Protein backbone atom coordinates (compact mmCIF):
# COMPACT_ATOMS: atom_id res chain seq x y z
CA UNK A 1 0.00 0.00 0.00
CA UNK A 2 1.01 3.63 -0.36
CA UNK A 3 -0.03 6.89 1.30
CA UNK A 4 -3.22 7.26 -0.77
CA UNK A 5 -4.45 3.82 0.31
CA UNK A 6 -3.75 4.76 3.92
CA UNK A 7 -5.58 8.04 3.39
CA UNK A 8 -8.61 6.22 1.95
CA UNK A 9 -8.63 3.71 4.82
CA UNK A 10 -8.42 6.45 7.48
CA UNK A 11 -11.15 8.51 5.82
CA UNK A 12 -13.47 5.52 5.31
CA UNK A 13 -13.01 4.53 8.95
CA UNK A 14 -13.88 8.06 10.05
CA UNK A 15 -16.72 8.87 7.62
CA UNK A 16 -18.19 5.47 6.71
CA UNK A 17 -18.56 3.27 3.62
CA UNK A 18 -19.72 6.15 1.42
CA UNK A 19 -16.10 7.36 1.43
CA UNK A 20 -14.58 5.44 -1.49
CA UNK A 21 -11.93 7.88 -2.75
CA UNK A 22 -8.74 9.01 -1.03
CA UNK A 23 -6.65 11.92 -2.30
CA UNK A 24 -3.29 13.05 -0.94
CA UNK A 25 -2.20 16.59 -1.84
CA UNK A 26 1.14 16.87 -0.11
CA UNK A 27 4.63 17.11 -1.57
CA UNK A 28 3.06 15.43 -4.59
CA UNK A 29 -0.48 14.49 -5.55
CA UNK A 30 -2.04 11.07 -6.01
CA UNK A 31 -5.26 9.18 -5.31
CA UNK A 32 -6.82 5.77 -4.77
CA UNK A 33 -10.40 4.58 -5.01
CA UNK A 34 -12.61 1.52 -4.57
CA UNK A 35 -13.28 -0.18 -7.89
CA UNK A 36 -15.53 -3.09 -8.78
CA UNK A 37 -13.26 -6.07 -9.32
CA UNK A 38 -15.23 -7.08 -12.43
CA UNK A 39 -14.20 -3.82 -14.13
CA UNK A 40 -10.46 -4.46 -13.68
CA UNK A 41 -9.93 -6.33 -16.93
CA UNK A 42 -6.17 -6.80 -16.63
CA UNK A 43 -6.56 -8.59 -13.30
CA UNK A 44 -7.73 -12.23 -13.40
CA UNK A 45 -9.46 -12.39 -10.02
CA UNK A 46 -10.48 -16.04 -10.39
CA UNK A 47 -6.97 -17.21 -11.25
CA UNK A 48 -5.58 -15.25 -8.30
CA UNK A 49 -8.21 -16.58 -5.89
CA UNK A 50 -9.50 -13.07 -5.21
CA UNK A 51 -13.17 -13.42 -4.28
CA UNK A 52 -14.00 -9.87 -3.17
CA UNK A 53 -16.43 -7.66 -5.07
CA UNK A 54 -14.17 -4.62 -4.85
CA UNK A 55 -10.49 -3.77 -4.98
CA UNK A 56 -8.57 -0.61 -4.19
CA UNK A 57 -6.90 0.92 -7.23
CA UNK A 58 -4.10 3.49 -6.98
CA UNK A 59 -4.42 5.89 -9.93
CA UNK A 60 -0.81 7.14 -9.99
CA UNK A 61 -2.27 10.16 -11.78
CA UNK A 62 0.85 12.17 -11.04
CA UNK A 63 2.27 10.54 -14.18
CA UNK A 64 -0.46 12.03 -16.37
CA UNK A 65 1.20 14.34 -18.89
CA UNK A 66 4.33 12.34 -19.62
CA UNK A 67 3.09 11.78 -23.18
CA UNK A 68 2.45 15.46 -23.78
CA UNK A 69 -1.17 15.69 -22.57
CA UNK A 70 -0.37 18.77 -20.46
CA UNK A 71 1.88 20.60 -22.92
CA UNK A 72 -0.77 23.22 -23.70
CA UNK A 73 -0.94 24.45 -20.10
CA UNK A 74 2.74 24.32 -19.18
CA UNK A 75 4.34 27.74 -18.78
CA UNK A 76 8.03 28.59 -19.18
CA UNK A 77 8.28 28.44 -15.38
CA UNK A 78 6.82 24.92 -15.24
CA UNK A 79 9.28 23.79 -17.91
CA UNK A 80 12.17 25.28 -15.95
CA UNK A 81 11.09 23.48 -12.76
CA UNK A 82 10.75 20.23 -14.70
CA UNK A 83 14.16 20.64 -16.36
CA UNK A 84 15.80 21.25 -12.95
CA UNK A 85 14.20 18.15 -11.38
CA UNK A 86 15.83 14.75 -10.98
CA UNK A 87 13.10 13.13 -13.13
CA UNK A 88 12.58 15.42 -16.08
CA UNK A 89 9.36 14.77 -18.00
CA UNK A 90 7.86 12.64 -15.24
CA UNK A 91 5.33 13.28 -12.45
CA UNK A 92 4.19 16.55 -14.03
CA UNK A 93 1.02 16.70 -11.93
CA UNK A 94 3.24 16.78 -8.83
CA UNK A 95 5.22 19.67 -10.32
CA UNK A 96 2.04 21.64 -11.06
CA UNK A 97 0.23 20.92 -7.80
CA UNK A 98 2.53 19.54 -5.12
CA UNK A 99 3.87 21.40 -2.10
CA UNK A 100 7.40 20.35 -3.05
CA UNK A 101 7.23 22.43 -6.22
CA UNK A 102 4.70 25.28 -6.18
CA UNK A 103 6.88 27.52 -4.02
CA UNK A 104 9.63 27.17 -6.62
CA UNK A 105 7.17 28.02 -9.41
CA UNK A 106 6.18 31.18 -7.52
CA UNK A 107 9.85 32.09 -7.01
CA UNK A 108 10.58 31.82 -10.72
CA UNK A 109 7.56 33.97 -11.60
CA UNK A 110 8.59 36.64 -9.08
CA UNK A 111 12.17 36.58 -10.34
CA UNK A 112 10.92 37.22 -13.87
CA UNK A 113 8.72 40.07 -12.65
CA UNK A 114 11.82 41.69 -11.15
CA UNK A 115 13.58 41.43 -14.51
CA UNK A 116 10.51 42.95 -16.15
CA UNK A 117 10.74 45.85 -13.65
CA UNK A 118 7.22 45.07 -12.36
CA UNK A 119 8.40 44.02 -8.89
CA UNK A 120 10.74 45.90 -6.52
CA UNK A 121 11.14 48.60 -9.17
CA UNK A 122 13.40 46.22 -11.05
CA UNK A 123 16.07 46.13 -8.34
CA UNK A 124 17.79 42.77 -8.39
CA UNK A 125 17.40 40.38 -5.46
CA UNK A 126 20.15 37.79 -5.28
CA UNK A 127 18.39 35.54 -2.79
CA UNK A 128 15.25 35.40 -4.93
CA UNK A 129 17.43 34.15 -7.78
CA UNK A 130 18.58 31.19 -5.69
CA UNK A 131 16.82 27.86 -6.24
CA UNK A 132 14.36 26.84 -3.49
CA UNK A 133 14.63 30.24 -1.75
CA UNK A 134 10.82 30.69 -1.72
CA UNK A 135 9.43 27.59 0.09
CA UNK A 136 5.76 26.70 -0.17
CA UNK A 137 5.26 27.64 3.49
CA UNK A 138 5.68 31.28 2.38
CA UNK A 139 2.57 30.88 0.21
CA UNK A 140 0.55 29.61 3.18
CA UNK A 141 1.79 32.45 5.38
CA UNK A 142 0.98 35.12 2.79
CA UNK A 143 -2.49 33.80 1.94
CA UNK A 144 -3.24 33.16 5.60
CA UNK A 145 -3.51 36.88 6.28
CA UNK A 146 -6.62 38.96 5.71
CA UNK A 147 -6.74 40.80 2.40
CA UNK A 148 -4.95 44.11 2.77
CA UNK A 149 -2.72 42.86 5.60
CA UNK A 150 0.88 42.29 4.54
CA UNK A 151 2.88 41.53 7.70
CA UNK A 152 4.01 38.14 6.40
CA UNK A 153 4.84 39.57 2.97
CA UNK A 154 6.94 42.34 4.52
CA UNK A 155 8.81 39.85 6.73
CA UNK A 156 9.48 37.51 3.80
CA UNK A 157 10.84 40.37 1.70
CA UNK A 158 13.20 41.19 4.56
CA UNK A 159 14.27 37.54 4.80
CA UNK A 160 15.01 37.64 1.07
CA UNK A 161 17.06 40.80 1.69
CA UNK A 162 15.05 42.92 -0.73
CA UNK A 163 16.40 46.46 -0.40
CA UNK A 164 13.20 48.37 -1.19
CA UNK A 165 9.67 46.98 -1.04
CA UNK A 166 6.20 48.34 -0.44
CA UNK A 167 2.46 47.72 -0.61
CA UNK A 168 2.43 47.52 -4.40
CA UNK A 169 4.99 44.72 -4.29
CA UNK A 170 3.07 42.86 -1.58
CA UNK A 171 -0.14 42.95 -3.65
CA UNK A 172 1.69 41.44 -6.63
CA UNK A 173 3.36 38.71 -4.53
CA UNK A 174 0.04 37.79 -2.94
CA UNK A 175 -1.64 37.63 -6.35
CA UNK A 176 1.05 35.32 -7.75
CA UNK A 177 0.73 33.02 -4.72
CA UNK A 178 -3.05 32.92 -5.15
CA UNK A 179 -2.94 32.24 -8.90
CA UNK A 180 -0.40 29.40 -8.64
CA UNK A 181 -2.35 27.84 -5.75
CA UNK A 182 -5.66 28.19 -7.57
CA UNK A 183 -4.25 26.63 -10.72
CA UNK A 184 -2.98 23.64 -8.76
CA UNK A 185 -6.31 23.18 -6.98
CA UNK A 186 -8.12 23.39 -10.34
CA UNK A 187 -5.94 20.65 -11.84
CA UNK A 188 -6.57 18.39 -8.83
CA UNK A 189 -10.31 19.14 -9.12
CA UNK A 190 -10.22 18.15 -12.80
CA UNK A 191 -8.55 14.83 -11.91
CA UNK A 192 -11.09 14.10 -9.15
CA UNK A 193 -13.95 15.05 -11.49
CA UNK A 194 -12.70 12.59 -14.11
CA UNK A 195 -12.61 9.87 -11.45
CA UNK A 196 -16.15 10.71 -10.32
CA UNK A 197 -17.41 10.46 -13.89
CA UNK A 198 -15.73 7.06 -14.21
CA UNK A 199 -17.32 5.74 -11.01
CA UNK A 200 -20.83 6.96 -11.90
CA UNK A 201 -21.91 7.23 -8.26
CA UNK A 202 -24.89 9.28 -7.13
CA UNK A 203 -23.22 10.23 -3.85
CA UNK A 204 -19.65 9.93 -2.57
CA UNK A 205 -17.34 11.24 0.13
CA UNK A 206 -13.77 12.05 -0.87
CA UNK A 207 -11.17 11.79 1.88
CA UNK A 208 -8.51 14.45 1.38
CA UNK A 209 -5.26 15.00 3.23
CA UNK A 210 -1.68 16.09 2.87
CA UNK A 211 0.34 19.22 3.55
CA UNK A 212 -1.64 21.57 1.31
CA UNK A 213 -4.96 20.48 2.79
CA UNK A 214 -3.63 20.83 6.33
CA UNK A 215 -1.56 24.00 6.11
CA UNK A 216 -2.61 26.03 3.06
CA UNK A 217 -5.36 28.34 4.36
CA UNK A 218 -7.42 28.64 1.16
CA UNK A 219 -6.66 25.40 -0.69
CA UNK A 220 -9.60 23.32 0.54
CA UNK A 221 -12.10 26.00 -0.46
CA UNK A 222 -10.45 26.51 -3.87
CA UNK A 223 -10.63 22.76 -4.50
CA UNK A 224 -14.27 22.56 -3.44
CA UNK A 225 -15.35 25.50 -5.62
CA UNK A 226 -13.67 24.16 -8.76
CA UNK A 227 -14.97 20.64 -8.15
CA UNK A 228 -18.50 22.04 -7.89
CA UNK A 229 -18.00 23.58 -11.34
CA UNK A 230 -16.70 20.38 -12.93
CA UNK A 231 -18.78 17.64 -11.33
CA UNK A 232 -22.08 16.61 -12.98
CA UNK A 233 -25.04 18.20 -11.17
CA UNK A 234 -26.59 14.75 -10.72
CA UNK A 235 -23.70 13.67 -8.51
CA UNK A 236 -23.45 14.66 -4.86
CA UNK A 237 -19.98 14.79 -3.36
CA UNK A 238 -18.41 15.90 -0.10
CA UNK A 239 -14.73 16.66 0.52
CA UNK A 240 -13.93 15.31 3.97
CA UNK A 241 -10.59 16.00 5.67
CA UNK A 242 -8.83 13.12 7.37
CA UNK A 243 -5.99 14.85 9.17
CA UNK A 244 -4.90 11.59 10.78
CA UNK A 245 -3.89 10.65 7.25
CA UNK A 246 -2.09 7.67 5.87
CA UNK A 247 -0.32 6.71 9.11
CA UNK A 248 -3.57 5.90 10.86
CA UNK A 249 -4.86 4.21 7.71
CA UNK A 250 -1.76 2.00 7.56
CA UNK A 251 -2.28 1.00 11.20
CA UNK A 252 -5.94 0.15 10.53
CA UNK A 253 -5.06 -1.98 7.49
CA UNK A 254 -2.33 -3.79 9.43
CA UNK A 255 -4.79 -4.52 12.23
CA UNK A 256 -7.40 -5.87 9.79
CA UNK A 257 -4.77 -8.01 8.03
CA UNK A 258 -3.69 -9.46 11.37
CA UNK A 259 -7.31 -10.15 12.33
CA UNK A 260 -7.90 -12.02 9.06
CA UNK A 261 -5.14 -14.45 9.98
CA UNK A 262 -7.01 -15.60 13.09
In the predicted structure, residue 245 carries a pLDDT above the cut 80: no
Q: Domain extents for the chain? A: 3-67+200-260, 77-181
pLDDT given for residue 72 in this prediction: 95
The residues near 73 (Cβ < 8 Å, ≥ 6 apart) are 96
pLDDT given for residue 261 in this prediction: 84
Contacts 24+ apart (CB under 8 A), 57-60: 57/32, 57/33, 58/2, 58/4, 58/5, 58/30, 58/31, 58/32, 59/4, 59/30, 59/31, 59/32, 59/33, 59/191, 59/195, 60/30
Q: What is the pLDDT of residues 119-166, one digit of tens each?
A: 999 999 999 999 999 999 999 999 999 999 999 999 999 999 999 999
CA–CA distance from 205 to each of 23, 50, 184 (Å)? Answer: 11, 26, 21
**Percentage of residues in the chain with pLDDT exceeding 70?**
100
Class of domain 77-181: alpha beta
Q: Using pLDDT thresholds of 50, 70 and 90, give the confidence band for residue 246.
A: confident
In the predicted structure, residue 243 carries a pLDDT above the cut 80: no
Q: What is the pLDDT of residues 68-100, one digit of tens each?
A: 999 999 999 999 999 999 999 999 999 999 999
pLDDT given for residue 48 in this prediction: 92
Phi-psi region of 201 (alpha: psi -120 to 50; beta: other; left: phi over 0): beta
The fold adopted by the segment(s) 3-67+200-260 is Hexokinase; domain 1 (3.40.367)
Model's pTM, two decimal places?
Answer: 0.94
| Fold match flag (3-67+200-260 vs 77-181) | yes
Amino acid sequence: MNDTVGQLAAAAHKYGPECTIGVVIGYGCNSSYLEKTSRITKFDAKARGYDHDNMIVVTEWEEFGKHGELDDILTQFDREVDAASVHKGKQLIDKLCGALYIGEVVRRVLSQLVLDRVLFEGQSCEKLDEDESFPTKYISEILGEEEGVFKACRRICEELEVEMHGTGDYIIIREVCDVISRRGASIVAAAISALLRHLELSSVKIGVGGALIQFHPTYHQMLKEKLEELTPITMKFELVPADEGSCQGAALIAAVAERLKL
